[in-house]
Amino acid sequence: MSELDFSPPTSEWYYPSDEIIQHAHVPDYEAVVREAEADFEAFWAKRAEQLEWYEKWHTVLDSSDAPFYKWFVGGKTNIALNALDRHVKTWRRNKVALIWEGEPGDHLSFTYWRLWQETNRFANILRGMGVKKGDRVMIYMGRIPEIVFAMLACAKIGAIHSVVYGGFSEQALADRIADAQAKVLVTADGAWLRGKTVNLKEIADVAIQRSPSIQSVIVVKRTGQEVYMESGRDFWYHDLINLPIASTVCETEVMDAEDPLFILYTSGTTGKPKGVVHTHGGYQVYTSTTLEWVFDIKDDDRWWCAADPGWITGHSYIVYAPLILGATSFMYEGAPTYPYPNRWWKMIEYYGITILYTAPTAIRGLMRFGDAWPERHDLSSLRLLGSVGEPINPEAWRWFYRVIGKEKCPIMDTWWQTETGGFVITPLPSVPLKPGSATRPFPGMSVDVVDEEGNSCPPGQDGYLVIKRPWPSMLRTVYGDPQRYIDQYWSRYAEQGWYFAGDSARKDEDGYIWVIGRVDDVIKVSGYRLGTAEVESGLVSHPAVAEAAVIGVPDELRGNVIYAYCILVQGYEGNEQLEQELKEHIRHEVGPIAVPAKIEFVQSLPKTRSGKIMRRVLKARALGLPEGDLSTLEG
């Protein structure tokens, strides 16, 4: 026996309807790829020309200090100019920019005009607190409209925001504040989650005590719970906006294209978090182009990116790109299953959502409750669906396609990273789909799967995912640690000058890319290489298994063996018989080499806030080792 083929069936194709293709911004993927390949700098320059600049760039791409690439050099802009200022001068001033629903059921909406004013007020408050261009502002709050105001306000005055997801612990927040040396913290009294409140301010207070750089704290009232306010340091937002300083008009700071826009600490599962830096110029070009083409955003759409603004998905595709495109975005505060598992479907029906972009973990989570919940609702407004964050198992893909999309909504499975700023491997609506594959690179992107030496892997062979030339929204550095930027991303293929993504993948005969998972999640069993995602997908394809995680545990004979942890669907009992049945199932679904040595039935799995399973924690538990930094673990 040589190499086992773990590829999901590549013969399962899903073709878009003529209606979908005709409606699309890019009806012909190949044609645009050819255009971009002919002259990729000209291609990106043309995209940049769609946006407003105070002054045009003189150089599209400067590679002289590679890998510290610079884009649109000499260009003067501000992402807030494109996301807000330019819209209020057109008919869009009266278009709804943001629709928001709170978990308790309250809702609000903001036109571009209102959002522009709210942002201006917030920006003036920050300026009044002494925040200047280049200063860092930490944002730690839930999914409420004020988080959007705060981010845009920072952009407007040239401050660098760093959003810390509202579920991180005191120490994680303190570490990030210390790394960024932030001056101001924006937070809220609390946040609603599953009918309970999260004590954001209380957590922030502990972090602030460990953070001497923080001078002022802005507190938004959300839950109304009792909080401690330190006089002279903590200010209620609703008090500040009544001060004369909080005018609804605020001048936008003129920024260099390469000036930093934000720092976002990655939810990396190992080591100290990395502060990924993105800029005003290239980031606005790339995020708006990718959103427009991949999700075919039009003026009559109601776009719902169900991520959290605290993650890159939210930064790029809740806040910046939709606003740059002048779209209407929807944001929901709470848990998908609160108070019942139909909450999402109810909101899609109520608001007439046309595009839903979410994560496989959410899809699987909702799938567990069966088809009856979504079937109670009219989901006919949906036109496109999307997935991000981890490889989507074909089982979940098909359910999403059939039960939610009614077999008429193509699923855009987008592969990208905090570091890439925007979608990198992704279909466009006109591209035929295969469940579980993010399909092909976005036009202008040069992506490949290569071996250790950098040779392009033939179809079917596992290799490392690399990006072979720069792109406008690439991270510029690791904040305060340029060496780590080089080491982490550019040293593996230094000679070739390629970006190392840290993922393993394989191509198929059609040039479609199948992302297997993080390189550190690859398990070698008897010399065979297995992706955790493949075994998990196999387990989840059994009707009893709702969610699964597998790890590699050292074994004297085989190098590694697999341990599997399964959450069962309601009504199933985890016993010896089921364990045998699952082993047999994997033998058939994936191959004999993938059969777990041990299957444990569990109630929950350790996950990062972005929904990725922390196999490192499972591994430590299995081996009886310390579990390490759990700051990114979901509470």
How many CB atoms sit inside 10 A of residue 102's CB? 20
> What is the torsion angle, in degrees rounded to the nearest 10, for the CA atoms of residue 45, residue 43, residue 312 and residue 264?
-50
Print the binding letters for residues 289-328 with ligand WT7: x by CB under 6 A, - otherwise.
-----------------------xx---------------
Smaller CB separation from ligand WT7, 140 or 357: 357
- Using CA atoms, how far apart are residues 148 and 120, in angstroms rounded to an integer? 12
Q: Which of 354, 418, 532, 560 touches ligand WT7 by CB under 6 A?
A: 418
Number of residues that bind ligand WT7 (CB under 6 A): 22
Q: How far is CA 24 from CA 51, 290, 295, 297, 499, in A?
A: 20, 13, 9, 9, 30
Counting Cα atoms < 13 Å in the Cβ hemisphere of 542 gives: 25
Q: How far is CA 542 from CA 71, 204, 352, 369, 537, in A?
A: 48, 43, 34, 15, 9
Kindly state the DSSP code that residue 297 receives in the 8-state scheme.
-
Query: Considering the complex, what minimum distance in angstroms separates the CB of residue 522 from ligand WT7?
Result: 11
Smaller CB separation from ligand WT7, 61 or 467: 467
Residue 413 binding ligand WT7, by CB under 6 A = yes
Smaller CB separation from ligand WT7, 53 or 416: 416
Residues 213-272 that bind ligand WT7 (CB under 6 A): 266-267
- Using CA atoms, how far apart are residues 240 and 625, in angstroms rounded to an integer? 49
Tokens 């500040």 found at: 240
Print the binding letters for residues 351-390 with ligand WT7: x by CB under 6 A, - otherwise.
-------------------------------------xxx
Q: Which of 259, 503, 547, 589 touches ligand WT7 by CB under 6 A?
A: 503
Distinct helix (H) and strand (E) counts, the chain: 20, 29
Residue 462 binding ligand WT7, by CB under 6 A = no
Residue 33 binding ligand WT7, by CB under 6 A = no
What 3 state SS string does 142-208 have?
CCCHHHHHHHHHHHHHCCEEEECCCCCCHHHHHHHHHHHCCCEEEEECCEEECCEEECHHHHHHHHH
Residue 501 binding ligand WT7, by CB under 6 A = yes
Composition of the chain by helix, strand, coil, percent to 5: 30, 25, 45
Q: Which of 119, 223, 417, 473 touches ligand WT7 by CB under 6 A?
A: 417
Q: Which of 79, 84, 291, 438 touches ligand WT7 by CB under 6 A?
A: 438
Smaller CB separation from ligand WT7, 560 or 610: 610
Residue 415 binding ligand WT7, by CB under 6 A = yes
Smaller CB separation from ligand WT7, 124 or 418: 418
Query: Considering the complex, what minimum distance in angstroms separates the CB of residue 429 from ligand WT7?
Result: 16
Print the binding letters for residues 505-544 with ligand WT7: x by CB under 6 A, - otherwise.
----------x-xx--------------------------
Residue 610 binding ligand WT7, by CB under 6 A = yes
Tokens 């005590």 found at: 209
Written as six digits, the tokens of 86 are 């330019």
Residue 127 binding ligand WT7, by CB under 6 A = no
Residue number of the CB closest to ligand WT7 reads: 418
Binding span for ligand WT7 by CB under 6 A among 64-72, 125-133, 409-417, 578-586: 409-417
Smaller CB separation from ligand WT7, 118 or 413: 413
- Using CA atoms, how far apart are residues 148 and 564, in angstroms rounded to an integer? 40
Residue 162, beta-bridge partner list: 138
Strand-by-strand arrangement of the 513-518 sheet? 447-450, 463-467, 499-507, 513-518
* Closest to 277 measured CA to CA, from 482, 565, 82: 482
Binding residues (CB under 6 A) for ligand WT7: these are: 266-267, 312-313, 388-391, 413-418, 438, 501-503, 515, 517-518, 610
